[in-house]
């Protein structure tokens, strides 16, 4: 059975939880609180020198980090990742978009708003995060006009990855009502079999 | 023949150029200056709503963005991307590391140092970029101790992706001499057949 080192309130960790639930694949969850130093202990750094969760551990001890790499590995050969090379390329395109143009703004704004004190210096970053995050949501909204899911006609791990921090973007001050195609897509993701909610 | 919209001095675009040269695959390069608004024209935004290069265009008009998604697509079925699922997962792990924990610090520091005027406000970001970039280089150095390449025993697109901004990290103020395993790996990448240099 695989083990997942993760923090349940983290969207990046939730991606892995959601996919494992949808795959109905048994797993052991090792709650690891990155907000309180648990990814910076010598024991954890020996497993992932980059000091981040989620981290997947196979039963033979092999380790894999990076949420979207974990999703690709677990979904390979299942309906959640198409076999066609062009569709797979587009899945990766949206997953790299998520990690470069979306998560650093939308997830970081959520982190600052939910977990840092009101007088914290990083709140000065919020206007820039709001601007860049809105750009990402606008790109998504335009792409989803007339489409059911991000790639092809089926739900895939591209949707899983983008759902994780989009559905809770309001936590970081984003108004999702401005993105109707995104809102309709969020509802379609939430209607997937064996969907589970983010714990927060 | 595929077309690549890219800016030759960009490390993200250079990744695609380097792989295409190594694959000996013919391509058309469409120089697109993102520093002077050429990725923000209506014509370009119609091809990539996210307004970024590199962008791959197939001869039937299909479009793919995100440098590392392009590398995966072009390398699939070649010696530059292993067929084994576990090795492929590790390639992706390092490519997501590159885009999340490496490029936003090392490439951005290079951009600020090379292209922004000495009195630009963004120079205030340099100490934070230096700290985070050094963390990424330390993770790479530790991983490369006793290894030839990032994944398995062979050069792969994980190396291509990480080479792009690592080899020119000094442009952003990083001292690579502090990372001897990284320096030895850079020399191994530069010794690959059909290696071409970044134009700057």
- B108 & B171 share domain: yes
Confidence of residue A82 (pLDDT cuts 50, 70, 90): very high
- B105 & B70 share domain: no
Mean pLDDT computed over every residue of chain A? 97
| DSSP single-letter state for residue B51 | -
Does A198 map to a domain? no
Picking from A12, A57, A58, A69 by the largest number of B CB atoms within 10 A of its own CB, the best residue to mutate is A69
pTM exceeding 0.80: yes
Instruction: Characterize the bridge pairing of strands B27-31 and B2-6.
Output: parallel
Helical H segments across chain B, by residue range? 11-23, 42-47, 67-75, 85-97, 103-115, 126-144, 157-166, 180-190
Element (H, E) at B56: strand B55-57
Picking from A2, A51, A93, A132 by the largest number of B CB atoms within 10 A of its own CB, the best residue to mutate is A93
- Residues B6 and B28: their CA atoms lie apart, in Å, by 10
Cβ neighbours for A112, distance < 8 A, ≥ 6 positions apart? A120, A122, A123, A125, A126, A129, A172
- Residue-wise pLDDT for A9-67, tens only, equals 999 999 999 999 999 999 999 999 998 999 999 999 999 999 999 999 999 999 999 99
Whether A70 has a pLDDT exceeding 80, the answer reads: yes
- B65 & B97 share domain: no
Tokens standing for A48? 């992932």
Does B200 map to a domain? no
Confidence of residue A200 (pLDDT cuts 50, 70, 90): confident
Closest-CA residue of chain A to B86: A73
Does B42 map to a domain? yes
- B91 & B143 share domain: yes
Token pair 């963390």: residue = B135
- B98 & B186 share domain: yes
**Residue B176: CATH number of its domain:** 1.20.1050.10
The last residue of one of the domains, among A24, A43, A75, is: A75
Query: Looking at this predicted complex, what is its ipTM?
Result: 0.98
The pLDDT value given to residue B200:
74
pLDDT in tens, chain B (200 residues): 999 999 999 999 999 999 999 999 999 999 999 989 999 999 999 999 999 999 999 999 999 999 999 999 999 999 999 999 999 999 999 999 999 999 999 999 999 999 999 999 999 999 999 999 999 999 999 999 999 999 999 999 999 999 999 999 999 999 999 999 999 999 999 999 999 999 97
Contact B96 A64 (CB under 8 A): no
Cβ atoms of residues B196 and B27 within 8 Å: no
Does B178 map to a domain? yes
Cβ atoms of residues A184 and A145 within 8 Å: no
Does B90 map to a domain? yes
Q: Other C-beta atoms within 10 Å of A111: how many?
A: 18
**Residue A34: CATH number of its domain:** 3.40.30.10
- B152 & B177 share domain: yes
Whether A155 has a pLDDT exceeding 90, the answer reads: yes
- B56 & B138 share domain: no
Does B195 map to a domain? no
- Residue-wise pLDDT for B69-111, tens only, equals 999 999 999 999 999 999 999 999 999 999 999 999 999 999 9
Cβ neighbours for A181, distance < 8 A, ≥ 6 positions apart? A140, A141, A142, A144, A145, A147
Cβ neighbours for B125, distance < 8 A, ≥ 6 positions apart? B108, B112
The pLDDT value given to residue A32:
98
Does B165 map to a domain? yes
- B100 & B177 share domain: yes
- A135 & A58 share domain: no
Does B173 contact A at CB distance below 8 Å? no
Structural domain range at position B66 = 2-75
Tokens standing for A195? 């969907």
Does B199 map to a domain? no
3-state secondary structure of A63: strand
The last residue of one of the domains, among A75, A100, A117, is: A75
Whether A3 has a pLDDT exceeding 90, the answer reads: yes
The last residue of one of the domains, among B75, B93, B122, is: B75
- B110 & B155 share domain: yes
Picking from A15, A60, A66 by the largest number of B CB atoms within 10 A of its own CB, the best residue to mutate is A66
**What is the total count of domains within chain A?**
2
- A122 & A36 share domain: no
- A92 & A135 share domain: yes
Does A96 contact B at CB distance below 8 Å? yes
β-pair partners for A56? A4, A64
Token pair 């072009």: residue = B74
CA distance A99 to chain B (A): 6
Does B115 contact A at CB distance below 8 Å? no
CA distance A151 to chain B (A): 12
């Amino acid at each position: 059975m695989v083990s997942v080192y993760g923090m349940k309130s983290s969207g990046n960790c939730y991606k892995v939880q959601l996919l494992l639930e949808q795959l109905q694949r048994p797993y052991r969850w090792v709650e690891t609180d990155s907000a309180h130093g648990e990814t910076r202990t010598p024991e954890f750094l020996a497993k992932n020198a980059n000091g981040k969760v989620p981290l997947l551990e196979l039963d033979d001890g092999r380790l894999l980090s990076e949420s979207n790499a974990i999703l690709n590995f677990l979904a390979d050969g299942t309906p959640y990742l198409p076999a066609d090379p062009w569709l797979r390329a587009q899945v990766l395109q949206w997953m790299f978009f998520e990690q470069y143009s979306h998560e650093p703004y939308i997830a970081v704004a959520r982190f600052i708003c939910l977990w840092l004190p009101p007088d914290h210096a990083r709140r000065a970053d919020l206007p820039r995060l709001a601007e860049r995050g809105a750009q990402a949501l606008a790109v998504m909204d335009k792409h989803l006009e007339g489409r059911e899911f991000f790639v092809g006609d089926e739900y895939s791990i591209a949707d899983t990855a983008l759902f994780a921090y989009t559905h809770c973007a309001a936590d970081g001050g984003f108004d999702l009502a401005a993105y109707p195609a995104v809102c309709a897509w969020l509802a379609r993701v939430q209607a997937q079999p064996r969907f589970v909610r983010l714990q927060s």
